Amino acid sequence: MKCGIIGLPNSGKSTFFNIISNSQVLSENFPFCTIEPNHGITKVPDHRLYQLKKIIDTKKIIPAELKIVDIAGLIRGSHKGEGLGNQFLSHIRETNVLLHMIRCFQDISILHVEGSVNPIRDKEIIDIELQLKDLESIEKKIEIIKKKRDKKEEYLLNVLKNILLFLKKGKNIRMFPFKEEKEINCIKNLQLLTVKPVIYICNVNDNENNNKTINDHIDHLKNIIKKENSILVTLSLTKKIIEKENNWTNLGIEKVLKETFKLLNLHTFFTVGKKEIRAWSIPMTYTAYEASSVIHTDLKKGFIRAEVIHYNDFIKYRSEENAKKAGKMLITGKNYLIQDGDIIHFRFNR
C-alpha cells in the first residue's frame, strides 16, 4: 500500500516528499525536475507511542510507516504523452491514495508552467488529464467486450457504459454513485486513475494571508472539494516556515499523513517491551493470525494465541499485570479481528 504525490510541476511536490521522507531528492526551479519517481518511507505520527513510553521504560519507539512516491509533474496533454505523460500516469496506477499538491502561492522566482497562479485551473488540469486517460482505458475495454460478444460480460459492459457517461461530464469515478459492491469489484482490474481517493494539499505562503485573489481561489477550491467528499489540507512549505516550525503538527503535515492512513484503510496495533515500543500498520480487515505475520512469518507458522490489551485499558491500569487483574486482557485465537490500538503479545511454537 502506498500513496503518490501528484500535481503540476513546481507545485511543491518534491519539497513535501523531502520533508516527510527525510530525503534529499532534486527540487529545482524548472519543469520535470523529477522524471523517475522517487520512492521513500515516512513515519506516521502517533501520540499513543509517547504515552506508552511514559509507562514503560523502553530504549526506543518505532512509529508505523507509509510508502510514498514522488511522481513527476503532469501537464496539459499528459494523457497523450506530453511531457512524458504516459510514463508518469503509469506510475500513478501503482498507488492506492493520491496526494494532489496545488500551488497557492505567488513567487515570480519560481516558474509556473501555465504562466500564472490559479489553483482552480491547476486542479482541473490534473483532473481532466486523469479523466481522459480513464476514458481511453474504458473505451478500449468496451471495444474488447463487444468483439468477444460474451453474454457473461454484459453486466460489466453496462457498468462501464454508465461510468463512461459520468466521466464525459467531467466527473471523477470516485464520485460515481455505485449501487452495489459488485459494480466496484468488476472495475478493479482496470486500474483506473480517478477512482483513487485523494487528499488535496494547498501549498500556501504565509506572507500572502491578505492576498484577496489567492484567498478567493482557496475558498472556491474548498467548496469544490467539499462537494467531492474529499479532504483539503492547507500548509506552507516555504523554507522560512519549515525552518521556523520544524514541527509536523504546525506545518499541517501530521494531518495529511493521518488522513492518508485512514484512506488506505489501515490501522495500528502495538507491541511493547523494554527494548522497544512499536506501532504496526495493517489493513482493518486483518485477523490476529494475519497480523502476526507482519511481525515475522514464524509467528504465523507457529501461532498459538494472541494476548490482547487495548491501549485505553493499558493507559488506565498502567501495566499489563494490572490490566490482567482487572479482566482487561483478552485471550484470542486466529480469527480475532484486530482493533485499532490493540497491544498484542503473540504466543507461538518455535
Which residues of the chain, if any, have pLDDT below 50?
26, 28-34, 83-85
- Report how far residue 317's alpha carbon sits from residue 315's, in angstroms, rounded to the nearest whole number: 6
pLDDT of residue 85: 46
- Report how far residue 21's alpha carbon sits from residue 3's, in angstroms, rounded to the nearest whole number: 12
- Grid cell, residue 310, equals 487495548
pLDDT of residue 284: 97
Provide the 10 A C-beta neighbour count for residue 259. 18
pLDDT of residue 347: 96
pLDDT of residue 25: 56
pLDDT of residue 32: 46
- Report how far residue 343's alpha carbon sits from residue 312's, in angstroms, rounded to the nearest whole number: 10
Pairing of strands 60-62, 276-283: parallel
pLDDT of residue 80: 64
pLDDT of residue 111: 87
Provide the 10 A C-beta neighbour count for residue 178. 16
pLDDT of residue 84: 46
Spacing of C-alpha 31 from chain mean position: 24
User: By the 8 A CB rule, do 176 and 166 touch?
Assistant: yes
pLDDT of residue 209: 75
Pairing of strands 303-310, 330-332: antiparallel
pLDDT of residue 24: 65
Name all domains of the chain by residue range, CATH numbers in brackets.
2-263 (3.40.50.300), 285-348 (3.10.20.30)
pLDDT of residue 30: 41
Reference 43, options 58, 22, 14; nearest CA is: 22
pLDDT of residue 31: 46
**Residue-level length of the chain:** 350
